[in-house]
Structure 1
Amino acid sequence: MKVVVIGGTGLIGSKVVEKLNRHGHEAVPASPNTGVNTLTGEGLADVLRDASVVVDVSNSPSFEDDAVMEFFRTSTTNLLKAEATAGVTHHVALSVVGTDRLQQSGYFRAKQVQEELIKDSGLPYSIVHATQFFEFMKGIADSATDGDTVLLAPVKIQPVFSDDVATAVGRTAVGTPVNGLVEVAGPEAFQLDELIRKGLAAKNDPRTVVADPHAPYFGAELEESTLLPGPDAHLGDTHFTDWLAQQ
């Protein structure tokens, strides 16, 4: 089975390519580095020739509201059109748990538009909703930093190892389209401020984490369960403390 992985040279994409190839599939990484640009359409027709499945794990190079909306709207539209022409029979996209609950954020509004375009395309699809990756904890801290203080809402979060996300994406890609959502999360939940406090301490980062119920998360205010998956989520095997110890 030929699987084209858009964003296939990135953190998740490279892992998906490696896992699929190891299991006997023909996984082809596609990104601007390999001559495929979903924003312009360059290289799409060629790379999609004879492909059965497309996995989109690409991300916007900018998180600025207008830029991220332009990226997901244009790239997804171009990709779906090219897939329909090429006869692709399964579109898999990676998105985020809680996207529909985080619409105060420009980034998550753009991800919601991406999801709606996929649902309305008429192509068989599966959307994988993942919780925040362990590797993204520093990014969360940086986005919430003011001087030497990190302001975070004391809400629940259930982060997941990127390798476990890649496994879920790969498994979904070679399965039957669900025409709906598949959720993946880590094996345990934390309080967001405590999680970031642990992560920063492990790296000897001197910033102070302060719990603030109204602290925004990439522009959105959080409720207790905003970032948590549902009860049917697939849970990864890797625990945060084990991952942290290996860094």
Structure 2
Amino acid sequence: MPCRRRQGQFKHCFKALQKPRHWGKGSVMTRPTIVFDLDGTLADTAPDLYQTVCWLLAMENRPRVTFERMKGLIGDGAGPMIRGSFGDTGGVPEGDGFERLLRMFLAYYAQHLADHSEPFPEALAAILRFRARGAKIAICTNKRYEFAAEQLRIWRIGHLFDAVKGADSFPFRKPDGRHLSETIKAAGGDPGRALMIGDSSADVGAARDAGVPCIAVTFGYGSTPAHELGADLVIEGFGQLDAAARRLGVI
């Protein structure tokens, strides 16, 4: 597994930025809302998810799956990661057997949410730029809310987000567009002036369903290449995000 940056290396992102002009002087509903997926888009969380999958496989006397294989399973929650990894190593238990594995996975992961996971520094810099201009910032993730919120607390960046909504925040989740549109509304934004940024078919599907422009990132975890997801634009790094958002007319 490749080495990961430590938290001290992205603290520079919190230095004061020169404040650019705001987007208009109307109500908050006129301001753009920038929504990020979490795993593989805003943060590099694969190391701890991989550790959890490998622990679970070992507990059941199964061989490991590769890191790259596991990354392709991220995006739809714990269930698909369990089904994919166990399907590759001898079969997936059903019924109570699967529910037992899910409970084990969640209990272990809850204790190892940020052992090696951390935000991408470039993402934090982009968030600060948009916030300085008055934009609303939100997270729409298929991770359970309690896990997402705890990671943000550990990383000390929870204050940067106007709303965080997880897989269990509503009775629907990505790729259902209501997950995205309700997240935007919870942030005090307007789905008609919003942008979704993600790395998977669930992210693009939710954006399409909600009628929200979408940007896909090439460095994420989705099993489908970013250029094949059907997003409006594709970026290779967050340094390209501002120009992409302007091109889509969001800012």
So what's the TM-score if we normalise by structure 1?
Answer: 0.27
Higher helix share: 2
